Amino acid sequence: MALIELYNLHKTYNTTKIPVYAVKGVDLNIEKGEFTAIVGPSGSGKTTLLNMIGGLDQPTEGKIVIDGTDISTYKSDELINFRLHHIGFVFQAYNLIPVLTAKENVEFIMLLQNLSKQERENRATELLEAVGLSDRINSRPSELSGGQQQRVAVARSLASHPSFVLADEPTANLDSVTAESLLDLMENLNSKYKMTFVFSTHDSRVIKRAHRVVTLEDGRIKSDELRKVLQGNES
C-alpha cells in the first residue's frame, strides 16, 4: 500500500462565471521514502494538487488516501486534526510566528498536540540541532536570514513526527547557495530518516535533486519520471 494514493482527483473553482478546472482526473501513488517533485508551469495545478494532498483544500471529485485513511470526505475540523498529526508543511514564505523564538516556533505544533513542556523542549532542541541551528534557538525570525528561517520551518515540519512533508516552492525566496544548502539538508533527512518529501516547484535546483519528477500540464499528469529506485524496492 502506497503512503499517498490519489484516485481520479478533480478540483474545480467556481469563483467566477467561467469555472476553472485546476486539476483534472489525476491518479498518483507516492511510496514512503520518496523525494518527489511535482512540477509544471504556472497554472498547471501543482500547488492545488499539493494543497489537496495536505488537506488544505478538498477535491471536487475523486479520492485521497493517506497512509490507509481516506480523507476525501473529512470535514474541516477532521482535516485540521489529521494535518496536525500526520503532515508536515514547508511554505515558500516560511510562515513563522514573528513574536516566537526559533525554538518556540518548532514547539508550537507540539503544544497543539498537548505534549509536555519537557517533550516539546527536548524535541525542538534536537530538531534545531539537526538543521544546523543549535546556536540560534533563542533567535526570533527577524534576527534570522531567509535560509535560517526556512531551516526553522523544516524543523517545525518534522516536530509532529509526520508521515510525510509537503514543501511548496521552498527555495523560491532563497539565493542559490542557500537553496542548495537547504536541499542538502532535506536530502540528508530523506536518506537518514526515510522521511518522505513531496515538492511543488518550478525551481530547476529542486528538480535536479528529485528522485522522481511528476510533470503536470493543464491539470493533468503529462509525465512521471522515476530517477532513483527506493532502497529495498529494487527488482
| Res 3 pLDDT > 60 | yes
Q: Are 195 and 203 in contact (CB under 8 A)?
A: no
Distance, in Å, from the CA atom of 108 to the CA atom of 110, rounded to the nearest integer, reads 5
Q: Are 216 and 53 in contact (CB under 8 A)?
A: no
Residue 42 to residues 58, 66, 112, 203, 217: CA-CA distances in angstroms? 20, 26, 34, 12, 9
A 10 A CB-CB count for 99 gives 10
How do residues 77-129 score in pLDDT, each as one tens digit? 999 999 999 999 999 899 999 999 999 999 999 999 999 999 999 999 999 99
As a whole number, the mean pLDDT across the chain is: 94
Residue 15: its pLDDT value, please?
79
Pairing of strands 220-226, 212-217: antiparallel
Residue 44: its pLDDT value, please?
94
DSSP string of 4-21?
EEEEEEEEEE-SSSS-EE
Q: How far is CA 50 from the centre of its chain?
A: 8
Residue 207: its pLDDT value, please?
96
Q: Are 52 and 59 in contact (CB under 8 A)?
A: yes
Task: Retrieve residue 188's grid coordinates.
Answer: 540528508
Residue 235: its pLDDT value, please?
41
- From the list 26, 34, 31, the residue with the least C-alpha distance to 3 is 31
| Res 182 pLDDT > 80 | yes
Residue 72: its pLDDT value, please?
92
How do residues 187-206 score in pLDDT, each as one tens digit? 999 999 899 999 999 999 99
Domains recognised in the chain with CATH numbers: 4-226 (3.40.50.300)
Average pLDDT of the segment spanning 22-51: 96
Distance, in Å, from the CA atom of 41 to the CA atom of 45, rounded to the nearest integer, reads 9
Residue 86 to residues 23, 175, 216: CA-CA distances in angstroms? 24, 30, 25
Q: How far is CA 137 from the centre of its chain?
A: 23
Residue 229: its pLDDT value, please?
75
Give the three-class secondary structure for 206. Answer: helix
Beta bridge partners of 216: 221
Distance, in Å, from the CA atom of 23 to the CA atom of 221, rounded to the nearest integer, reads 9
Spell out where 122-194 has E strands.
164-168
Identify the helix (H) or strand (E) that includes residue 198: strand 196-201
Task: Retrieve residue 165's grid coordinates.
Answer: 512533508
